[in-house]
Structure 1
Amino acid sequence: MSKISVIWGAAFALSAVAAIATAQHRFRYHDETATEPLRLVPATVDPGENIASVKEKGSKIKVTGNGIPDHLVGQFPNRGNPHQIETQKVKLKLPANPTANGTFTPLRMGWNFGVSLNGVVFDPLAAEFWHGDPGSGWSYNALGGAIALGLDANYAHVQPNGKYHYHGVPTGLIELLGWSPSDHSPLIGYAADGFPIYAMTGKIDGKVTEMKSSYRLKSGNRPGGSQPNGRYDGTFNEDYTYVQGHGNLDQCNGAFTVSAEYPSGTYAYFLTEDYPVVPRCFTGTPDQSFKFGRQ
């Protein structure tokens, strides 16, 4: 497969975001340049009834539901997130037999990366930019802690329309699914291109293995001037670079694995403990139903 840059085609993605911003709203101004510890809201609240269905029909897998998770969540609204969880009309479809394109497609703002088995989507990108400018080339890492987003213990929060969504590893969900570090991860969900999503452990060459990201922080300091200063510490997505062989996953946090669902093996995406946690690109073609407003 061909390589992409660390910012996943950022010029294209950010230009798209700029167009959305002009048409719809202004982004919040930020000048933070240092990471802060995440202050996660404890997951103590029952969000209500979860309705979710994952069915294979013909050449498609169809996921429907109400967007309410099947595990406890944090209190919403909260100090960092003023929105209330509300039911959604989840209606997604993806290829039942996905194929790799031979090139990577970057995840763009306005798209969900994938959907969990409980019908809650993975939406790792945050609409927060240096000086509130999506064209600045500097996008804030949602898990960097510099911007208070009111994330709960599932690394999730709520959009203005009431959509609860994951920015990181959904701890409540993987506990319900029985995840164990000594076993291959249970199936967590599906990416928009149809490939499965697992969490942190896979099987390579017949052995259960911790799946590790191949991204690492850049060395030295940011440019400064009209751009952020300070050291590359994970505040921004652009603080990271992909280093082939640094971990055992590719640029999209993917690898070939053998699992209970795919005994003959499959390419799959993995949620990881380290950045990017949730993948930021696709090896296949994402279905248009994962674009915001198309659910």
Structure 2
Amino acid sequence: MKFRSVRIFFIVVTLLFVWSCANQPLASMLQAPSPAATVAKNLPTVTGVDLRHLPIGDGRISVQPKVGSVWSCRTRFRNKGGAHASGDWIQADGTYNLTAKPTVNGAVHWPSQFTITLQNNIRTITGNRLPKSVTGKFPISPDDDAYAYDRNPNSITAEAYQIKLPAIPQATEEPSCLPLGAIGVLTNGGYFFNALDARGEDAVAHEIQDSCQGHPERGGAYHYHSVTTCLEAQSKEHSALLGYAFDGFGIYGHYDKNGKVLTNTDLDACHGHTHEIEWDGKKQKLYHYHATWEYPYTVGCYRGKPNSVTKIRR
């Protein structure tokens, strides 16, 4: 009797399984699992900094120069824009895993125009704000895995500009705050912004960028919140010049003169320091900014007097 009950039980289970298969579309049974999100590319192997546990910079906005912070001219931020969701790269201990962060798909090439001239102690930078490095495909497509976290609807557009900077910039008596928007330009022609998104949060941690760590804002300006790894190579000596802040001082990569990866503790409140560097083909003792893997990534405040970008009508 007991054996018969067991047989009946297995017959019922088998019939239920067959019935469920008959009522399930074949396409769904054969469908491959959803692909994993495209994660961060172009990241080097870094000694001394764990890219899997970078401190999130949220809340590190100051009203005066402060190491490891952004001295922001804006103190009130709108509660919209940027990424609309976070993933498992944001960790419960207040850090994020840069190596696991999704990136926007695509490898788009642009007709970049970018020149630097030096005359009468003035450095003139002219460009169309399109980078020489590749970008992702924007607006972010609903078919892109990044869309689940950031639905950036902006397109990358060209706009001719010019900025004049002192060839030998001078530090002002007091530093000054950083605006939102462009605070400098890299040598690939792309703008760089400070570390904050429109919400006043850590843009590198939260917003989804492409594999060169850039994306466009609503005015069409493609930009970075950190120094793109598509521009800098690993080094066993001092990093090369990778761009200029709008006060004229240069921004160099992640490495000091001994090839050591720099951190906030190596730099001052504006994210720079002074020593002899290669500047316009000569060795000069000059203040300069550095990139770091940790927030605020590029510039924390202006050490010199900032200049304004002029739009060129053509």
Fold conserved between structures, TM > 0.5: yes
- Give the AA of the match of 1:51: Q
How well do the aligned residues superpose, as a CA RMSD in angstroms?
3.0
Match of 1:113 in 2: 183
Deviates more, 1:65-74 or 1:259-268: 259-268
- Give the AA of the match of 1:75: K
**Aligned-pair CA distance for 1:211:** 2.2
Deviations 1:171-208 (A, max 9, x none): 1122xxxx3330221110111111111011132xxx44
> In the alignment, which of 166, 182, 194 is matched to residue 224 of structure 2?
166
**Aligned-pair CA distance for 1:161:** 2.1
Paired residues of 1:194 and 1:286 also in contact (CA < 8 A): yes
Structure 1 CA distance for aligned equivalents of residues 133 and 85 of structure 2: 35
For 1:13, what is the secondary structure of its paired residue? coil
> In the alignment, which of 152, 157, 180 is matched to residue 234 of structure 2?
180
**Aligned-pair CA distance for 1:37:** 4.8
1:1-295 paired onto structure 2 within 5 Å: 4-5=65-66, 10=72, 13-14=74-75, 27-28=80-81, 37=97, 39-41=101-103, 44-78=106-140, 79=147, 80=150, 81-109=152-180, 111-129=181-199, 139-145=200-206, 149-174=207-232, 179-203=233-257, 207-213=258-264, 247-261=265-279, 262-289=282-309
* Distance change (3 Å), C-alpha of 1:8 and 1:260: closer
Match of 1:222 in 2: none
* Distance change (3 Å), C-alpha of 1:31 and 1:86: closer
Q: Structure 1: 5+ residue runs without aligned partners?
A: 130-138, 214-246
How many residue pairs align between the two structures?
Answer: 229
* Distance change (3 Å), C-alpha of 1:248 and 1:128: same
* Distance change (3 Å), C-alpha of 1:263 and 1:249: same
**Aligned-pair CA distance for 1:90:** 2.4
- Give the AA of the match of 1:253: H
Structure 1 CA distance for aligned equivalents of residues 287 and 249 of structure 2: 7
Q: Structure 2: 5+ residue runs without aligned partners?
A: 1-63, 87-91, 141-146
**Aligned-pair CA distance for 1:260:** 2.9
Match of 1:133 in 2: none
Q: Which has the larger radius of gyration?
A: 2
- Give the AA of the match of 1:166: Y
* Distance change (3 Å), C-alpha of 1:73 and 1:40: farther
TM-score (norm 1): 0.68
- Give the AA of the match of 1:99: Q
